[in-house]
Chains A and B, each alone.
Chain A
Amino acid sequence: MKVVVDTNVVAYHLLGTPRFAAEAAEILEAADEILAPALWEAELANVIWMAARTSVLPAREASSRLALAARLGVQSVPVRTLWHGALVRSLQSGAAVYDTLFVELADREQLTLATFDQKLIRAFPAFAKRPKEI
């Protein structure tokens, strides 16, 4: 199975979010190939930074956690190849380009987007689904 993942799927597992981490692990484990717009890297690094800032994660652990995420094998797709399509979707839907980049990638590759974002699932039901529903 090949799938596009939202940053929240990786982040919930990376920090062990109660009630969601196991579901995230299942999709990450089941997928042969995982894709995401390159934006996911900055978003995830920001999550790790905030986790360290709020003392959830010791600062000394932040880099190692990011290194573990890098080893998940998520293929980063350059944003530049997606931004026109994402912009059109945002203009039509009102959803932020940050979100429609993921939808655009799923549509382009004819894949499902795994996300925990309920607003995104409601706005793009043909592409976006909760991991347990894939």
Chain B
Amino acid sequence: MKDTATLTIRNIPMRIVRGLKSLARRRGRSMEQEVRDLLEEHVAERSSVLRQIETSWDQQSRRPSAAEIDSWIAAGRE
């Protein structure tokens, strides 16, 4: 079974369309991709996102300590 669908959404205000075009241009992506990502961002199951984050830890050189992260949060405040 196909796991994608095509949606047609009417009456989108022009200011939203302009904003989407501008966002897509700045990120070097298509407006369609931008809309797909925004929808995904809003409806994705949080647990699936948490698992994706956990998988992404493999990309790191190491896992930083709590003290290190605390100092990074504080770094912006100094």
Taking beta carbons and an 8 Å cutoff, which residues of A are in contact with B?
Answer: 7-8, 11-21, 25, 28-29, 42-43, 46-47, 50-51, 54-58, 61, 64-65, 67-73, 96, 98, 116-117
Contact = CB atoms under 8 A, between A and B. Distances in A.
Interface in B14-57: 37, 40-42, 44, 46-47, 49-50, 52-54, 56-57
8 contacts: A8-B69, A8-B70, A17-B63, A21-B63, A46-B73, A51-B60, A116-B66, A117-B70
B59 interface: yes
Given A68-B49, A68-B52, A47 B72 contact: yes
Interface residues of B, number: 29
Interface of B: 37, 40-42, 44, 46-47, 49-50, 52-54, 56-57, 59-66, 69-70, 72-73, 75-77
